Chains A and B, each alone.
Chain A
């Protein structure tokens, strides 16, 4: 099997696919790529199935040496690797790909034709960092095996890309579209009044925000199931957005939930980034998701938008 040597691991580089589903009733959330759109695009560009295991780099990328000739793709944010994003690239044997600090958002994905070969735990290759399910973040000196999971040809035509690797239709505007959460009726729109900043303590479990405090509604509530992207309001009034490694149940009220079409933005938010919430209808949320799926289809089937 072809191998990748990890010359430097980066800040937090993990193996991810689209997540580990079907275990929430045991308290295990899906984990999976923080920016699922970028992971899918990178995989599809190299000819993998969209759910193949790839590397997720966070804020500072790693350096990787490819033992044999390989086809790769980078997608998500520009980590200064000096190669184009959002397209398949052929690397000769012995090539070294050096990523560094991000020049745009929080995460960059490295997909390798054939996928990263790791054992699946509970049906998924994704590392759940907080619990260790599926493994651990990479360390310098690790060796990764490349699998043989490619399903079709790679797409090498460089697509149109925007500033900092962002795709033109997917602006990094700090605007998070949300639909009403289960306790929306107990709030009065305070969430939509001001801008929030992403706090340093944010991680794959949750994005902690700092900004205008939102008063907790009177009366308690029973612990209930919580969804990816739920915006929950703890007693201090500072919202927490539940992220890919979120708890499966919780007892804080939730005025809103980030829409599926904006999940990728959650994965690209960095500490100190500013964001605002905008309320949309369920119908609008589903139309935006459909538009995003069309964008991905165009990217990976035609190489342009």
Chain B
């Protein structure tokens, strides 16, 4: 664990430079352990690090560092509550997934083969960040990895399901973006009136299913 100031009101805590489920477990534990502490204003978890913003008139770097050390001690225990599993129905290809054919060509697969492999995988939400509830998903089958577009698109539709390098993600709002878009979901990932406002949260497990083939609640 490396702890260093990022600003006069924040500390960056890093658990290495390699994306892994072990580093993710450390990030998840620390983020949860620091939630709701007075004087901590915001927590920014990422692949292997957590940025802690604090109120500099209430807290010092040394105090936050001591808290971080105390709360990251000891072996990681399995969660008492199993992670949530969220199913995301997706329309693939065509207007909803303009890059599906490129991804298929890059992978040496048919578009149907891409969808089949994409839906067969289990994904974990490493963290939610970037801009408004964007989930960074690990677990993409290696053969589907593809670099981002050379130049970002000016307009990516809300709900676009996309591949960026070896990660998958979903655009919660219409925005510019450089990931390869293979489909679109109608689920709302962000709702400011919902509690919490994000459909997907750190450490959730995600399954993608073709729209119309969702598991029906009994």
Contact = CB atoms under 8 A, between A and B. Distances in A.
Contacts of A286: 8, 56
Given A25-B202, A133-B192, A181-B6, A223 B42 contact: no
Contact of B131 (A21, A27, A227, A258): A27
Contact of B42 (A23, A247, A257, A293): A23
A182 interface: yes
Given A223-B46, A223-B47, A225-B45, A28 B7 contact: no
Contacts, number: 141
A49 to B, nearest CB: 16
Interface in A265-296: 282, 285-286, 289, 293
Nearest to B8: A285
A282 B192 CA distance: 36
B61 A224 contact: no
A66 to B, nearest CB: 30
B152 interface: no
A248 interface: yes
Contact of A24 (B12, B42, B172, B190): B42
Given A27-B133, A225-B46, A225-B49, A257 B6 contact: yes
B83 interface: no
B9 A260 contact: yes
B16 to A, nearest CB: 9
B61 A282 contact: yes
B56 A260 contact: yes
Given A25-B202, A28-B197, A247-B131, A225 B5 contact: no
A179 interface: yes
A249 B19 contact: no
Contacts of A247: 129-131
Interface in B1-24: 4-10, 12, 14, 17, 19
Contact of A282 (B5, B128, B131, B136): B5
Nearest to B136: A223
Contacts of B198: 26-27
B99 interface: no
Select the residue from B19, B197, B202 with max chain A CB neighbours within 10 A: B197
A194 interface: no
B31 A131 contact: no
A21 B202 CA distance: 18
Contacts of A122: 192, 197
Contacts of B129: 24-25, 27, 223, 225, 247-249
A229 interface: yes
Contacts of B57: 289, 293
A225 B30 CA distance: 14
A259 interface: yes
10 contacts: A23-B197, A24-B44, A131-B132, A224-B14, A224-B46, A228-B7, A249-B129, A257-B8, A259-B8, A286-B8
Given A122-B192, A133-B132, A227-B53, 10 more contacts: A24-B44, A26-B128, A26-B190, A181-B7, A182-B4, A182-B6, A227-B10, A249-B44, A249-B130, A289-B57
Closest 9 CB pairs of A and B: A225-B44, A225-B51, A249-B129, A257-B7, A24-B42, A285-B8, A26-B198, A227-B10, A21-B41
Interface of A: 21-28, 30, 121-122, 130-131, 133-134, 179-182, 222-230, 247-250, 254, 257-260, 282, 285-286, 289, 293
